[in-house]
Structure 1
Amino acid sequence: MVRHLSTLAPNEGYTLCGLPGVKFMRTNRTSVRAPVLYEPCIVIVCQGHKRGWLGDSSFDYHAQQFLVLSVPLPFEGETVRASEAEPMLAISIGIDLQMAAELALAVDQARPQAEAPAAPRGIMASPLDDALGDAVLRLLEALNSPLETQLLAPAIRREILFRVLTGDQGGALRAALAHQSQFGKIGKALRRIHAHYHTAIDVATLAGEAGMSVAAFHASFKAVTMTSPIQYLKTTRLHKARLLMVQDGLSAAGASGRVGYESTSQFSREFKRFFGRTPLEEARQMRSLLAQSPGAQPGRYVSAQ
């Protein structure tokens, strides 16, 4: 896996490939704890060591482990072990929710659960078993060839999703897809926030759509994300604005308006409080880093979907 990823991900950050939703990740140096934002995805680490924090809980994921985000989550992460000689290398596979729902239904019909699953979590790391590891290796091999990327890789990606659904983390992913479960209702609310973060969203509306009281919605939301709905929306807007400034060259005023802020000064204050730098300082820093690695995508800031 490491050999294939070293070739497929020659530059730091994210490198796109011919299979939509799949990205390669490379980091040549350790990094300090910083905010990140991932869409629902499967991240398989082939070399190196990363650590993440969600609320007060931390989790490690390193070589021969995979991370599953069953719902879109902003959290904090750092690269613990990486160097020029041995970079952190990983592959990110976005979760196609329609495909996941179809597979989950087929799996549950063919293999009814004998016992109730553990309480689902929005993010979790697990060891990479032989079956999943073999599928990931075959996907990397296929992605080296444009023809195999087109004809073979989509089926292997589906197999990887099947392996996850039938493994230790399958319960959380199925729960996120099931609208009738509490976890599924929160997952639906999170996806709504990510799709409409630039519009006016109030907690009462989200709670009503989930069929919960405002108090119950708050409690369920915090159990999944370790934060409140309003703070989650604010965090999502700040991440999206930073992406617009770094990738699309928007000014702070332009980005703040695009993501739903009415006051640029309020946006700038909250941005600096959250990221530790002003919007202008952050955009300059990221463009400088990207200029040092031509062709790379800004790995700290793009979502994994």
Structure 2
Amino acid sequence: MSKPSSPAQRQMAALIEQLAPNEGYTRSLLDGVRFMRANHPLGRTPVLYEPMIVIVCQGSKRGYLADRVYHYDAQHYLVLSVPLPFSTETEATPEEPLLAISLRLDMTAIADLVMALDQEEPVPTPAAPMGIVSTPLDPMLADTTVRLLQALSSPREAQILGPGIVRELCYRVLIGAQGGAIRAALASQGHFGRIARALRRIHNDYEQALDVGTLAREAGLSLPTFHAHFKAVASTSPIQYIKSVRLHQARLLMIRDDLTAAAAGARVGYESASQFNREFKRLFGRSPGEETRAMKQAFALLPATQLEGIATTH
């Protein structure tokens, strides 16, 4: 179990514990920012993360993608520059719950930051782009996170100060230890950039008919080249990625919107209910109904908590 080890981390944990009093995901007062809380350990579970930054203040998670393991805990944060399905494992107890904050990456704002950084201080040695990294949490980023959480405790401060602090937090990630690899990925150049755009297209249009040949043409790549580079970035084939995105979205529809399996399957593009049920069980290891009941609490999405009066807590 990873405990907060500095005053800033302890302050982060105290703030999130108040902002996210219940298990699951809680909206914040700022669009694109959410809190994560788990009061119990959770075994290896398939998840789908969109491009985001995840800062864990207490407890720990491990992410698994192909043969790589990514640790994000009170000492490390996670950054995804592309939407990726992978699996996670969570360490938490009722006495020391997992407490984390996630920030969805606004690609337009990030592109502006990357451009400004490259003009002022180009990366000395171009780094290989990476779709997912875990990297140590430095004191400056921890301090920025505390100030963001304080602002998110007040509707007025969230509206006035929040967006600027989010921009600062993204800036600190981009100049951090793995900033070069993240900047290279977010610059969307070369083959990585073409695949990143294809991943975002699938992530945004999963309910539509998606043909791999069309995706390859849109990327300006031959089908074999598209397959090879797609697997290098996403660690899976385009067809499996499309299936995974659809099934993850269907799971959220059943958990958060109380849709039936048939309705959720149809919503994400499945014409056959039996095919949906079969592929769902293959990915999650349980039927849609069993999975929904088991994950209802862990994946709940709760409304924002307003805590006037703790914005300047120290």
Which TM-score applies when normalising by structure 1?
Answer: 0.91
Distance in 1 between residues matched to 2:219 and 2:49, nearest whole Å:
23
Does 1:78 pair with 2:121? Answer: no
Query: Given the alignment, which residue of 77, 99, 122 partners 1:66?
Result: 77
The answer to whether the Cα contact below 8 Å between 1:132 and 1:163 also exists between their aligned partners in 2 is yes
The answer to whether the Cα contact below 8 Å between 2:25 and 2:36 also exists between their aligned partners in 1 is yes
Distance in 1 between residues matched to 2:100 and 2:60, nearest whole Å:
10
Match of 2:261 in 1: 252
Query: Given the alignment, which residue of 27, 44, 55 partners 1:33?
Result: 44
The answer to whether the Cα contact below 8 Å between 2:130 and 2:185 also exists between their aligned partners in 1 is no
Match of 2:291 in 1: 282
Does 1:113 pair with 2:123? Answer: yes
Query: Gaps (5+ residues) in structure 2?
Result: 1-11, 305-314
Shift of 1:294: 9.7
Shift of 1:62: 1.1
State the number of aligned residues: 293
Write the deviation string for residues 166-209 of structure 1: whole angstroms up to 9, x where unpaired.
22333333333334321111110000001111111111111111
The answer to whether the Cα contact below 8 Å between 2:79 and 2:134 also exists between their aligned partners in 1 is yes
Q: What amino acid does structure 2 have at the position aligned with 1:57?
A: R
**Structure 1 counterpart SS, 2:253:** helix
Shift of 1:53: 0.3
Match of 2:132 in 1: 123
Distance in 2 between residues matched to 1:12 and 1:294, nearest whole Å:
9
Shift of 1:222: 0.7
Q: Percent identity?
A: 58
The answer to whether the Cα contact below 8 Å between 1:256 and 1:264 also exists between their aligned partners in 2 is yes
Write the deviation string for residues 201-229 of structure 1: whole angstroms up to 9, x where unpaired.
11111111111111111111111111011
Question: What does residue range 183-194 of structure 1 map to in structure 2 within 5 Å?
Answer: 183-194=192-203
Match of 1:228 in 2: 237
Distance in 1 between residues matched to 2:66 and 2:82, nearest whole Å:
15
Q: What amino acid does structure 1 have at the position aligned with 2:121?
A: R
Shift of 1:128: 0.7
The answer to whether the Cα contact below 8 Å between 2:75 and 2:136 also exists between their aligned partners in 1 is yes
Query: Given the alignment, which residue of 89, 92, 98 partners 2:108?
Result: 98
Shift of 1:295: 4.3
Match of 2:34 in 1: 23
Q: CA RMSD in A?
A: 1.8
Distance in 1 between residues matched to 2:101 and 2:301, nearest whole Å:
19
Does 1:138 pair with 2:160? Answer: no
The answer to whether the Cα contact below 8 Å between 2:38 and 2:99 also exists between their aligned partners in 1 is yes
**Structure 2 counterpart SS, 1:150:** helix
